Amino acid sequence: MSAADAAPNPWVDPSYVVDNWDTILAYTAQHVRLTVLAVVIGSVIALPMALVARRSRWLAGPVLGLSTLVYTIPSLAMFAFVAPFTGLSETTVLIGLVLYSLVVLVRNFLAGLQSVPADVVEAARGMGYGAGRLLWRVELPLALPSFVAGIRIATVSTVALVTVGVIVGQGGLGQLITGGFNANFYRAPIVTGAVGCVLLALLADALIALAGRWVTPWTRTVRA
């Protein structure tokens, strides 16, 4: 048995949560703030990228390649790259998170746009739809389920990824995880941080899924 087991060191400790409620709340707020900002900014950048990538096969390769390259940069190094410019701030973490969310979002947005059946597009063109109206009235609605799936994946991944921000001291609930680890393997904060992350991710996912059902009412009848 290691020294960590000598003193009482329970996995779950409600009194820890009660005693440190304000700290936990503050870290949760940071976690939510970083996640929402990252996914919103990521989506705003990803849609034009996906549209451009679809329009031109010459650009699709570089756009996807670039986003892949970004995703392959390990988060450890990503924050080290950004830190000299933005310091040990939330901005450092946010820039990294946006870049990572872009990969998921661009891919899913592009897959959604490409999944629009060619005969539907042809029919719309035949009915006199111009490029703008075709996109807005036909292609985007049909691609919406894919978009929602992408945003769900990006959000859940981002919630998990925020924890790596501990490297610059801005890791949201991740601060509890490493804080507990560094405090002689104090398990209560580790578990609190981990469970908090999971609950946050599930809540965000459920909310987006609900919103997705709401904006795509036609998909509900498919099962029947």
Residues at the site binding other proteins, with contacts judged by CB under 8 A: 4, 57, 61, 68-69, 71-78, 80-81, 84, 107, 111, 118-119, 121-122, 149, 152-153, 156-157, 159-164, 166-167, 174, 177-178, 180-181, 185, 187, 190-191, 193-194, 197-198, 200-202, 205
Percentages helix, strand, coil for the chain, rounded to the nearest 5?
85, 0, 15
User: Which residue's CB is nearer to other proteins, number 93 or number 200?
Assistant: 200
- Least distance to other proteins, CB of residue 191, Å: 7
**Whole-number minimum distance, CB 143 to other proteins, in Å?**
13
Neighbours of 155 (CB within 10 A): 24
> Exposed, middle or buried, 184 (CB in 10 Å: 0-12/13-18/19+)?
exposed
Instruction: State how far the Cα of 105 lies from the Cα of 128, in Å rounded to an integer.
Output: 31
Give the span between the Cα atoms of 8 and 188, in whole angstroms.
11
Q: Residue 176 CB, nearest distance to other proteins (Å)?
A: 10
Q: For residues 6 and 118, which CB has a smaller minimum distance to other proteins in the complex?
A: 118
